Amino acid sequence: MLVKDFMTPNPDVVTPDVTVPEAAQIMKKGGFRRLPVVKEGRVVGIVTDRDLKEAMPSDATSLSIWELNYLISKLTVGEIMTRDPVTVADTMPLQAAAKQMLEHKVGGLPVVHEGKLVGIVTVTDVLKAFLQREAELLVGAETSP
């Protein structure tokens, strides 16, 4: 089982100059929790829904709603992203990618081929692969004499 067989190919991406509200809208519309950040086709960072939430001001702020909206509208993904994230090759065994996620305590990894982003693999993808393999083993056991 290779990463390329279970990853989401050609994921939505953002560049470092995209604003936080724009990135939040892309994530909300797509229904996902992380976005690779690319520059000239190369992964330079990753931004998660948690990063976006942490970038939002506290409810205890003394700024007005207009001041808050103005400041947030100027904040870019490049300012809040995790720089140089762990990546995996598309030809890597899925189990090795799962181990990387566990070791680095992340829920997803950008997938690269020859340095260029080609996909993203998440814990959900690993679970789907596990369930698929389990189903294959069950079918195999039922057809054995």
Of the candidates 84, 79, 82, which has an alpha carbon nearest to the alpha carbon of residue 17?
A: 79
Could you tell me where the beta strands, DSSP code E, fall in 13-130? 34-39, 42-48, 82-83, 88-89, 108-113, 116-122
Domains for the chain: give ranges and CATH numbers.
3-143 (3.10.580.10)
pTM of the full predicted structure?
0.84
Measured in residues, the chain has a length of 145
Tens digit of each residue's pLDDT (9 = 90 or more) over 44-73: 999 999 998 888 765 556 666 666 666 677
In the numeric block, which tokens belong to residue 43?
Answer: 């992964």
Could you tell me where the beta strands, DSSP code E, fall in 10-142? 34-39, 42-48, 82-83, 88-89, 108-113, 116-122
Tens digit of each residue's pLDDT (9 = 90 or more) over 3-33: 999 999 999 999 999 999 999 999 999 999 9
